[in-house]
Copies of this chain bind each other. A is one copy, B any other.
Amino acid sequence: MERTVAVGTKFMLEVNASAILTHLRSAGRASVSALAKQAGLSRQAVSRSLAVLESMGLVEISAPDRAATPTGRPPQMVRFRAEAGHVLGVDMQPGHARIVVADLAGDITSEATVSLPRKGLSRALTAAVGRVLDEAGLRPGDIWHVSAAAPGIVDPATGHFTLSVSMPEVVGDTILAGLRAAVEAPVYVDNDVKLATTGERWRGTPHAEDALVFIDWGERIGAGIVLHGQLFRGASNDAGDIGYLDLCAPPASEGDEDLGPFERWVGTRELLRLTGRAVTLPELAAAAGRGEDWAVSAIGTVGARFAKGVAAIRALLDPDVIVIGGDITQLGTGLLDAVTDALRAEQLAQPRLEISALGADAIIHGAIRHSLSWVERERFDVSAIRRV
């Protein structure tokens, strides 16, 4: 029932300034006249809005550019000040963390990968972030928003980890506390696959997809789902938990009780077991590359099983594209071919399959994208623009 109303004529300026800022952020640099033409406003209105944005430090009016028009008076150019603020992305993985600073345009300005102890993780994280900020020449107040990712289950209300099999040290508010001590900004914590999905959609191959499913395929299997252009979480923040998809997999065998049915059936643990040898994933990939039967056969079997999962996703969601990431991508396109072959037997038209173009980087890109969305909503939106 909270509906926007226009209370006072200042409202118009706010609306217009916000719209102009959006234009300018996508264009990067433009003349006042060009902005006016694009926005459908008079030059005066645009100038007024720009004056406000300039006083907020969000835009900069630079010298006239004589190259912009072939004839006539050169226009003053105006530029979005991407350096007006920064966001922080953190990707926590067992033993190490990647910390990235990006400006408001999403360009990375500073980053570091640090190894972290299992004990005293919180304080070590605070110190590491402090060092990255120092390197970038930024103070804690210069960061507007922080998004952090780690494997495990997060309570979306509090940002606390309730469970993490591979990183038990992050359970509780470890990450939250460590980051809050380092910066003066809101901190968001989420599951790494969820943020990787956001990252794939932003910086991966298929940009404009309305419906995208990202599958993190390793020993465990999880998925992120983007629908209607935004990440879908589900009733208990557990949408995309396809490790527990049960497609009549055999019952759990010895030592597999911690995995879900789909993970037991197509996870990397099962894949390596199917080879009948003691090999690692890279070794398997190499053998498959040489065309050795045992390797090709194991990949074919798992690929065909995975195809059943793809078909289930297709029947229910009918996505544009399914992006595969995670450890399994070490196997390269041979895997994709195996899945695609098996899919030909399905009755429905199947979605496009792709291997993640970003790999492990998807997570950190997703974290940055999430923080930028916060900035757009909280700092660039109509309600955030007030005349000083």
Contact = CB atoms under 8 A, between A and B. Distances in A.
Interface in A38-67: 39-41, 45
Given A227-B232, A347-B244, A316 B312 contact: yes
Contacts of A232: 211, 227-228, 317
A240 B316 contact: yes
A58 to B, nearest CB: 16
A238 B320 CA distance: 11
Contacts of A242: 315-316
Contacts of A23: 1, 3
Interface string A123-165: 0000000000000000000000000000000000000000000
Nearest to A349: B236
Contact of A16 (B5, B234, B245): B5
A214 to B, nearest CB: 13
B316 A317 contact: yes
Interface in A1-47: 1, 3-7, 9, 11-13, 15-16, 19, 22-23, 26, 39-41, 45
B239 A318 contact: yes
Contacts of A313: 316
Given A232-B228, A248-B247, A6 B1 contact: no
A11 B16 CA distance: 11
A6 B4 CA distance: 14
A2 to B, nearest CB: 10
Interface string A281-318: 00000000000000000000000000010011101111
Contact of A5 (B19, B210, B240): B19
A85 interface: no
A228 B233 CA distance: 9
Interface string A226-256: 0110101111111111111111100000000
Interface residues of A, number: 60
How many copies of this kind of chain does the complex include? 2
Contact of A6 (B12, B318, B319, B349): B12
A101 to B, nearest CB: 29
Contacts of A237: 318
A323 to B, nearest CB: 14
A348 B237 CA distance: 12
A260 interface: yes
Given A228-B230, A312-B316, A318-B239, A7 B246 contact: no
Nearest to A249: B248
Given A235-B211, A236-B349, A318-B235, A246 B39 contact: no
Nearest to A317: B239
Interface centre among A5, A241, A351 (most CB of B within 10 A): A5
Interface centre among A1, A15, A230 (most CB of B within 10 A): A15
Given A228-B228, A242-B316, 19 more contacts: A5-B39, A210-B235, A211-B232, A225-B316, A227-B227, A228-B230, A232-B317, A234-B318, A239-B316, A239-B317, A239-B318, A240-B318, A242-B315, A244-B348, A245-B312, A246-B311, A246-B312, A247-B248, A248-B248
